[in-house]
Amino acid sequence: DGGITQSPKYLFRKEGQNVTLSCEQNLNHDAMYWYRQDPGQGLRLIYYSQIVNDFQKGDIAEGYSVSREKKESFPLTVTSAQKNPTAFYLCASTEARQENTGELFFGEGSRLTVL
Amino acid sequence: GQSLEQPSEVTAVEGAIVQINCTYQTSGFYGLSWYQQHDGGAPTFLSYNALDGLEETGRFSSFLSRSDSYGYLLLQELQMKDSASYFCAVRGDDSNYQLIWGAGTKLIIKP
């Protein structure tokens, strides 16, 4: 079945460690996004990519990094520079056409907890 | 700044009708979307309005008034499975396809 797969679903990190969250899609979508969700808040955009080997910062990119070496994959690294990384991270994708309707397809999310 | 306002929580009874409002202040506007998210799950797309008026999809309808910078999601014949958070989101810029999200409305349905 087509969809977006995020892993791991749950992740625990010690302070000072970098962690990488995986996002893979087999929908043949061009655009991919990473969002952060905190309790009682809307989604905040971290990074997005509209084409392979290109990506742009969102509203809260500090302390995060991404790569887009393949169309199917858009991994997110949460670095030790991110001061408050405990959150629910969501990856999404869309076709160029569907971007115009705002229809994003989301993965099941990765919940990161810093110990 | 750019913002979307929606109630934090709405309570309704099973079988009833509920309306979730969303007002927005954005520098540009290309459409209003609605998403549903169950606890701990992924948001799923419900509807999109680019033009004024009502869009109906089964038990769910969405309305937009661009002159009032206002929209709503209408849920009819409420079922317990509709208990979830509902987010409105605006695409405000034609150049970068970013969505601006509301904080979400938690819908509580009582039997």
Work out the minimum CA distance from A82 to partner chain B, whole angstroms: 22
Q: Which chain B residue has its CA at the smallest distance from A111's CA?
A: B40
How far from chain centre, in Å, is Cα B1? 20
Q: Which of B99, B105, B106 to mutate to test the interface with A (most CBs of A within 10 A)?
A: B99
pLDDT in tens, B7-51: 999 999 999 999 999 999 988 898 999 999 999 899 999 999 999
| B42's tokens | 């992924």
Q: In the block, which residue shows the tokens 């229809």?
A: A103
Cα(B57)–Cα(A95) distance, integer angstroms:
22
- Of all helices (H) and strands (E), which one includes residue A96? helix A96-99
Band the pLDDT of A99: cuts 50, 70, 90.
low
Average pLDDT over residues A13-21: 92
**Is the separation of the CB atoms in A48 and A56 below 8 Å?**
yes
The b-or-e profile of A63-93 (16+ CB within 10 A means b, else e) is: ebbbebeebbebbbebeeebeebebebbbbb
Q: Which of A40, A50, A102 sits opposite B89 (nearest CB)?
A: A102
Please check whether residue A74 is in contact with residue A88, taking contact to mean a CB–CB distance below 8 angstroms. no
Contacts with B98 from chain A: Cβ below 8 Å: 45, 48, 58
The count of CB pairs under 8 A between chains A and B is 65
Query: Considering CB atoms only, which of A42, A58, A101 is closest to B98?
Result: A58
Are A29 and A10 spatial neighbours (Cβ–Cβ below 8 Å)?
no
Residue B87 touches chain A, beta carbons under 8 Å? yes
B46-98 pLDDT, tens digit per residue, is 999 999 999 998 999 999 999 999 999 999 999 999 999 999 999 877 665 67
